[in-house]
Amino acid sequence: MYNNTEPTVVIVPGLRDHVADHWQTLLADRLDRVRTVPPLERDKLSLTARVAALDTVVAEVDGPVVLVAHSAGVLITAHWAQQSTRPILGALLATPADLERPLPEGYPTMDDLTQGGWLPIPRRRLPFRSIVAASSNDPLAEQRRVAGIAEMWGSRFVDLGEVGHLNPAAGFGDWPKADEFLHELIESASRTTA
């Protein structure tokens, strides 16, 4: 089916897009086969535009794909998965933002998110293996709700403890655990296809 057997990691950032000292950026710098969904020039709050950008990047990859999403990027991934037929080896879904609840000041409002097409959060099982890694003190999501969504998605849920939103503001640049989860997803997929 594919010309290449080594998976390409596709990085799906959240609404803040590319941040130089973010763990996703640092992970991408360490990988040989990686693509990052580029920032939108306009319609930054359009879910349709974000899903289309992810679809374009995935379509350009010749070979197996593993997704690595953070925050609203997790929701972009979940929405994309509901309409895509592209096989994916797996996805690391880190600290998803709960966009069905009001976010702190400085983030999009519920009205902005509704107009952008973000609601409701998809609840159908994802068509690929996934790990949802959640924080116990994330200002953008209650861990209990994230655990419930992970269960509906058929994802393995991981409690990361108190890591805030797992971003530079919470004290996270590099996040070595991402490498471990990525390795787990790739190994698990290779055992399944062997």
- For 47, phi then psi, to 5°, come to -60, -40
Which tokens go with 45?
């709050």
Terminal Cα-to-Cα distance of the chain (whole angstroms): 15
88 three-state secondary structure: coil
What band does 193 get if pLDDT is binned at 50, 70 and 90? Answer: low
Q: Map tokens 């998110």 to a residue.
A: 113
Give 101-138 pLDDT, tens digit per residue.
999 999 999 999 999 999 999 999 999 999 999 999 99
- For 78, phi then psi, to 5°, come to -65, -40
CA atoms within 13 A on the CB side of 74: 25
Check pLDDT > 80 for residue 1.
no
CA atoms within 13 A on the CB side of 51: 16
pLDDT of 18:
76
Q: Which stretches within 41-156 are classed as H helix?
A: 47-59, 72-83, 110-115, 143-153
Q: Where are the domains of the chain?
A: 8-193
* CATH of segment(s) 8-193: 3.40.50.1820
Predicted TM-score of the model (pTM)? 0.94
